[in-house]
A = this chain, B = another copy of it.
Amino acid sequence: MHNGSHISTVKHNVSTTQRWRRNGHTGGILWLTGLSASGKSTLAMALELDLFNRNWQCVVIDGDNLRQGLCADLGFSPDDRAENVRRAGEVARMLAESGIIVIVALISPYQSDRDRVRRSAGSLFHEIWLSAGINVCETRDPKNLYKKARAGEISEFTGISSSYEVPNAAELTIDTGVLDFQESLKVLRGYVERFAFL
């Protein structure tokens, strides 16, 4: 049978530690989870610029962009969301092992899906909850998505017609409903510096 049982791991000639030493920082996954409009993408892209400017190696995996590429075949059912999160997690792990700081901006509403990434990536995984609540996010509604969800024009919308499970053991919580953008970025930046500085 060709069930993959004959597949063996191919080893790299460059170790993760060598890569970290060369880059001057460790790799890791900053997994930003939270409701739509909680600030995930904005903070991810701002942090990317910040790290780039200090010469760090950094990649953003943004949920909306994934949906147009790697995960274009997936919908928004619980199963498809699970697979979406699994794929993002596998890519993030691979990159973090390559010495890169990976910033993932993804609603990732279910605890079990986030926990699976944590099991796969181990200590590379940092769950960061942007905890702005539904009221704040719905008031902001920069892309009118909540409005459309309330009107029934978008189904399975997280916070309205699909659930969001609050992280039960996030490494960091940033209340983006209270802190403004610059304050939130500062907290996030401080966290990265603590774990990634060699």
Contact = CB atoms under 8 A, between A and B. Distances in A.
A60 interface: yes
Interface string A3-30: 1101111111110001100100000000
A69 B93 contact: yes
Interface in A11-63: 11-14, 18-19, 22, 41, 45-46, 48-49, 52, 55, 57, 59-62
A14 B70 CA distance: 21
Given A7-B68, A155-B1, A13 B46 contact: yes
Contacts of A52: 14, 18-19, 22
B10 A41 contact: yes
A2 B156 contact: yes
Chain A interface residue bracket vs B: 35 or more
Contacts of A60: 12
B95 A9 contact: no
A195 B157 CA distance: 44
A8 B55 contact: no
A178 interface: no
Given A2-B154, A14-B48, A69-B94, 9 more contacts: A4-B67, A4-B76, A8-B64, A11-B45, A14-B49, A59-B95, A61-B94, A70-B91, A70-B94
